Amino acid sequence: MLEQIIASLKGELLQKFTKGEQSIPEDKVDDAVGLAKDNMLETVKDEVQRGNLNGLLDLFKDKQNVASHPIVTNMIMKYAGDLGAKLGIPPNMATTIANFAIPFILKKIMGKAEEQGVDQNALMGMLGGSMGGGDMGNLMKGKFGDALGGFLK
């Protein structure tokens, strides 16, 4: 699901990333978008491994204030760092891009889930499916199957 949503947003992200003062070269946009997806999935996986399922589910409760959620703040900082380290984007530009991109993508994911009538647990399962090989599902089954009432079993 995440790959499909990000692919559908690529035009909007391209426009945002390549226009104005805080723009990056067009040849780095695909890499920047890929880093956003990778950072988001890695953060979700890390939170599950740490046992913070409630924090993740809480993330999807307030679409309007998603950028201020601690997990999202972590995603933004990691993404900004990776933009600098992996793509050579200057720190202030990387921060501006990260502060826009991560909440933007998450809000679109939440909006898509609302359109399809997907609840928070199913949304987490769909995000997990984006990790390939069912890694998220296996983590959740092993650690959180009971907490989810067998949802992923």
Supply the pLDDT for residue 80.
Answer: 96
Residue 45 lies in a domain: yes
d(CA 9, CA 130): 16
In angstroms, rounded to a whole number, what is the distance separating the alpha carbons of residues 114 and 123? 10
Q: What is the pLDDT of residue 73?
A: 95
pLDDT for 10: 74
Residue 149 lies in a domain: no
Specify the length of the chain in residues: 153
Q: Are 97 and 86 in contact (CB under 8 A)?
A: no
Instruction: Give the pLDDT of residue 112.
Output: 77
Q: Does 17 map to a domain?
A: yes
Residue 8, token pair as written in the block: 């559908």
Q: Side chain identity at 122, as an amino acid letter?
A: A
Domain total in the chain? 1
For 96, the enclosing helix (H) or strand (E) is: helix 91-115
Contact call for residues 107 and 66 (beta carbons, < 8 A):
yes
What is the model's pLDDT at position 125?
Answer: 59
**Mean pLDDT per 10-residue segment, the chain (153 residues):** 71 74 76 88 87 82 84 95 94 90 87 71 56 46 41 35
Q: What is the rounded end-to-end Cα distance, in angstroms, of the chain?
A: 20
Q: Give a yes or no: residue 152 inside a domain.
A: no
In which domain, by residue range, is 116 found?
A: 2-144
In-domain check, residue 95: yes
Per-residue model confidence (pLDDT) at position 119: 64
Whether 33 and 6 have beta carbons less than 8 Å apart is answered as yes
pLDDT at site 52: 85
What tokens were used for 113?
A: 């889930």
